[in-house]
Amino acid sequence: MRRMGREYGVPCTVLTGKRALTLRFLPDVKLVFAPATLGDEVMLKVLGSLCDESGFRLPLLIECDGAYHGFVHRNRTLLEKKFILRDASDILGGKRF
């Protein structure tokens, strides 16, 4: 998260379940801890408000929990307009962007 924050110079928004709660101690990282079963419309509103609060045009959105994969896949076009999308497994695997 720190490396990507430095590369892009923007705060990170992390879409996660309980597994990534230690990220809450990193500066410029916002956790979205919401059930993956929430409707797409509600999740898009939550993420949209976080994007507006950040003050950056394209903050990072990192998917840390596979339960959100369907949501991200269905809404990829909308999300890519506001976020730089990344998957946590790619980051942890050392994939370069």
Q: In what order do the strands lie in the sheet with 29-33?
A: 29-33, 12-16, 60-63, 84-87
Domain limits of the chain?
Answer: 2-92
pLDDT in tens, 58-97: 677 777 777 888 888 999 999 888 887 888 777 666 555 4
pLDDT in tens, 7-41: 656 566 666 555 555 555 556 666 666 777 888 88
| Amino acid, res. 15 | L
Three-point CA angle 81, 86, 92, nearest 5°: 170
Rounded Cα–Cα distance for residues 8 and 84 (Å)? 9
Look at domain 2-92 and name its CATH class: alpha beta
